[in-house]
């Protein structure tokens, strides 16, 4: 009997638990335990609509326990604080403050990110002046503050809105892009758009980079780029932009930035939603002698090292350097997936301001990419239980990135950018010209995307509750 | 010489909102997504 412990129940961890339970059915008595600090699954892509006040947070969530009961998976509501990889157990802190040791034969770390608002003074809704749409409470609060602003605008006020990233090393520019477009269209529908100046503020090296080094797609004879798409869209929406920027600090109504050229700037705002930088959930790795070996197992941000080629400069990094099996090189029974695995480097070109401040997106590995890595990791664990070598791969340099960026949620007048890239990480060894198969890449704005986005919301929530036929939904 | 900036044409804007055209694109893009998804499952 093998004991598998999965830490985290987001896209990677939760999907891995379902796939693992299904794959181990009828293969002996094996045990899967999920430890999550939140008792609900949240479909994070829909939080953009929560943040505009168009959807309740509850509509993006479901309780994990009933799903796990149905699938024969154990569930522990708690926060993992320590991993003891030699003795093969994790320490979970329960909501009542008690600690519980949970033994494992195989461990999958899929904790998702720690939202590091503290990296920028004044950032975030709790100890700062900006909003976030990264969690259901944050998105709900962002909606409330936004609707307060709408009330003021209806009384004749004018306002400045800033949306984007709140640090030079942020990821998830796509979520902020969706939010700025939804805010624009919501204000248009309310007849208030002419009273608001909207600005996009981000750490991207170029507009439309989205942390994936942008994309190219064929449109007839034209090579159409995400930069062209974003620039044309912002021009049409009358959204100003300030990119290549790190937010140094935020004060009440004022954002201070420095950019790659070393220019220090200040921007006033009445409402700002800035995505925080991510770091790993704080977990200590302790060896059999009680030594802290976190630095050996994880990268400096705390993400778990896997089968990637680490240490290469950006210019030399290529497709084969990206992890394939998500197995930790030191402890072969430990895997990491989703945001929790340490990427070998950024997808977008990193830069530095003259004062040395690093400015450049860190690689996104959320949503579909997280699911694929979680699936590969758990199927590799199943391989090992069966006495085989890990055979399942989901390298970001071999798998597609599928993204539907909502711009307005409406079945008749909605819009979204439908984006497909193959592969996510440029693989110049395989595709020398662009690093991607641009015949497979798409970037298209239209109502159809809005239908996709709505459909994905329902399809994912259905699939991830393991309802009848869930396995048919990829 | 600087490249002229890309901007959406009136035709692009009309197509983005045209339900018939978008139904067609929904099918085309859906099949494309499915093709990409099948590379990994």
Listed in sequence order, the residues at least 6 apart from A230 whose beta carbon sits closer than 8 Å to its beta carbon are A177, A207, A208
Residues of chain A in contact with residue B8, where contact means CB-CB under 8 angstroms, are 232-233, 236
Query: Could you tell me if A459 lies within 8 Å of chain B, comparing CB atoms?
Result: no
Nearest CA in chain A to B25: A448
Spans of chain A, pLDDT less than 50: none
User: Would the CB atoms of A444 and B25 count as touching at under 8 Å?
Assistant: yes
Q: What values do phi and psi take at A387, rounded to 5?
A: 80, 15
Mean of the pLDDT values across residues B11-29?
95
3-state secondary structure A344-401: CCCCCCCEECCCCCEECCCCCCCHHHHHHHHHHHHHHHHHHHCCCCCCCCCCCCCCCE
Residues of chain A in contact with residue B10, where contact means CB-CB under 8 angstroms, are none
Query: Could you tell me if B19 lies within 8 Å of chain A, comparing CB atoms?
Result: yes
Residue pair A361/A206 in contact (Cβ under 8 Å)? The answer is no
In whole angstroms, what is the distance from residue A51 CA to residue A41 CA? Answer: 18
- In a 10 Å sphere around its CB, with 0-12 CB exposed, 13-18 middle and 19+ buried, how is residue A111 labelled? buried
CA A142 → CA A49, A50, A163, A276, distances in Å?
11, 8, 12, 14
DSSP 8-class letter at A260: T
Which of the listed CATH numbers 3.50.50.60, 3.40.1080.10, 3.30.420.40, 3.40.640.10 matches domain A3-115+278-385? Answer: 3.50.50.60
Edge-first strand order for the sheet with A159-165 is A239-242, A196-201, A159-165, A271-275
CA A325 → CA A35, A373, A383, A389, distances in Å?
22, 8, 11, 10
Q: How many CB pairs under 8 A join A and B?
A: 71
Residues of chain A in contact with residue B5, where contact means CB-CB under 8 angstroms, are 231-232, 235
Domain residue spans of chain A? 3-115+278-385
User: Would the CB atoms of B22 and A447 count as touching at under 8 Å?
Assistant: yes
Residue pair A52/A412 in contact (Cβ under 8 Å)? The answer is no
Q: How many Cβ atoms are within 10 Å of A301's Cβ, its own excluded?
A: 16
**Helix residue ranges per DSSP H, A213-353:** 226-237, 294-297
User: Residue A24: helix, strand or coil by DSSP?
Assistant: coil
Strands A113-115 and A278-280 come out as antiparallel
- Cα torsion A310, A120, A45, A74: sign: positive
A398 alpha carbon, distance to own chain's centre: 19
Query: Could you tell me if A446 lies within 8 Å of chain B, comparing CB atoms?
Result: yes
**pLDDT given for residue A12 in this prediction:** 97
**pLDDT given for residue A221 in this prediction:** 83
In whole angstroms, what is the distance from residue A365 CA to residue A345 CA? Answer: 12
Question: pLDDT tens digits, residue range A267-308?
Answer: 999 999 999 999 999 999 999 999 999 999 999 999 999 999
User: Would the CB atoms of A440 and B36 count as touching at under 8 Å?
Assistant: yes
**pLDDT given for residue A367 in this prediction:** 85
Q: Is residue B4 scored above 70 in pLDDT? A: no
**pLDDT given for residue B2 in this prediction:** 57
**What is the nearest CA distance from A153 to chain B, expressed in angstroms?**
28
Q: What values do phi and psi take at A332, rounded to 5?
A: -70, -15
Out of B18, B21, B41, closest to residue A474 by CB: B41
Q: Which residue of B7, B26, B39 to mutate against A (max A Cβ within 10 Å)?
A: B26
**pLDDT given for residue B3 in this prediction:** 61
Strand partners, B15: none
Residues of chain A in contact with residue B4, where contact means CB-CB under 8 angstroms, are none
In whole angstroms, what is the distance from residue A124 CA to residue A109 CA? Answer: 26
Query: Could you tell me if B11 lies within 8 Å of chain A, comparing CB atoms?
Result: no
Query: Could you tell me if B3 lies within 8 Å of chain A, comparing CB atoms?
Result: no
Query: Could you tell me if A447 lies within 8 Å of chain B, comparing CB atoms?
Result: yes
In whole angstroms, what is the distance from residue A94 CA to residue A263 CA? Answer: 47
User: Would the CB atoms of B7 and A232 count as touching at under 8 Å?
Assistant: yes
**What is the nearest CA distance from B1 to chain A, expressed in angstroms?**
18
Structural domains counted in chain B: 1
Q: Which residue of A400, A410, A423 to mutate against B (max B Cβ within 10 Å)?
A: A400
Is the pTM here over 0.80, yes or no? yes
Q: What is the DSSP string of chain B?
A: -PPPPP---HHHHHHHH-HHHHHHHHHHHHHHHHHHHHTT-
């Amino acid at each position: 009997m093998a004991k598998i412990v999965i830490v985290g129940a987001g896209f990677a961890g939760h999907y891995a638990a379902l796939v693992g339970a299904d794959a181990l059915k009828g293969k002996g008595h094996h045990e899967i335990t999920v430890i999550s600090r939140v008792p609900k699954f949240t479909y994070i892509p829909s939080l953009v609509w929560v943040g505009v006040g168009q959807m309740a947070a509850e509509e993006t969530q479901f309780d994990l326990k009933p799903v796990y009961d149905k699938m024969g998976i154990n569930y522990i509501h708690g926060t993992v604080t320590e991993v003891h990889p030699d003795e093969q157990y994790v320490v979970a802190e329960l909501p009542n403050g008690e600690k519980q040791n949970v033994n494992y034969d195989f461990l999958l770390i899929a904790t998702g990110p720690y939202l590091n608002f503290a990296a920028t003074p004044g950032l975030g809704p709790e100890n700062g002046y900006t909003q976030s749409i990264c969690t259901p409470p944050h998105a709900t609060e962002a909606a409330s503050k936004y609707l307060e602003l709408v009330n003021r605008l209806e009384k004749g006020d004018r306002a400045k809105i800033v949306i984007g990233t709140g640090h030079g090393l942020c990821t998830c520019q796509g979520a902020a892009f969706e939010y700025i477009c939804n805010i624009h269209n919501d204000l248009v529908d309310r007849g208030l758009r002419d009273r608001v100046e909207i600005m996009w503020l981000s750490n991207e090296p170029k507009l439309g980079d989205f942390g994936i080094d942008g994309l190219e797609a064929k449109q007839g004879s034209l090579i159409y780029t995400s930069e062209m798409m974003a620039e044309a869209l912002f021009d049409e929406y009358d959204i100003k932009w300030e990119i290549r920027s790190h937010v140094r600090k935020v004060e009440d109504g004022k954002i201070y930035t420095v950019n790659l050229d070393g220019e220090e700037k200040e921007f006033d705002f009445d409402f700002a939603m800035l995505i925080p930088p991510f770091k790993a959930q704080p977990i200590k790795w302790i060896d059999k002698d009680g030594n802290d070996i976190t630095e050996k197992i994880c990268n400096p941000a705390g993400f778990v090292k896997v089968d990637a080629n680490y240490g290469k400069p950006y210019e030399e990094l290529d497709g084969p350097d990206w992890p394939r099996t998500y197995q930790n090189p030191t402890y072969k029974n430990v895997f990491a997936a989703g945001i929790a695995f340490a990427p070998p480097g950024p997808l977008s070109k990193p830069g530095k301001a003259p004062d040395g401040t690093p400015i450049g997106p860190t690689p996104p590995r959320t949503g579909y990419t997280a699911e694929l890595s979680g699936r590969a990791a758990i199927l590799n664990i199943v391989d090992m239980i069966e006495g085989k070598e890990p055979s399942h791969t989901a390298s970001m340099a071999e798998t597609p990135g599928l993204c539907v960026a909502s711009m307005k949620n409406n079945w008749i007048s909605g819009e979204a950018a439908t984006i497909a890239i193959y592969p996510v990480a440029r693989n110049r060894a395989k595709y020398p010209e662009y690093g991607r198969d641009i015949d497979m890449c798409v970037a298209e704005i239209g109502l159809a995307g809005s239908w996709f986005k709505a459909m994905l919301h329902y399809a994912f929530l259905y699939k991830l509750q393991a309802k009848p036929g869930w396995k048919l939904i990829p | 010489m600087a490249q002229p900036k890309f901007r959406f044409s009136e035709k692009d804007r009309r197509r983005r909102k045209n339900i018939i055209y978008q139904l067609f694109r929904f099918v085309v893009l859906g099949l494309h997504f499915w093709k990409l998804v099948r590379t990994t499952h």
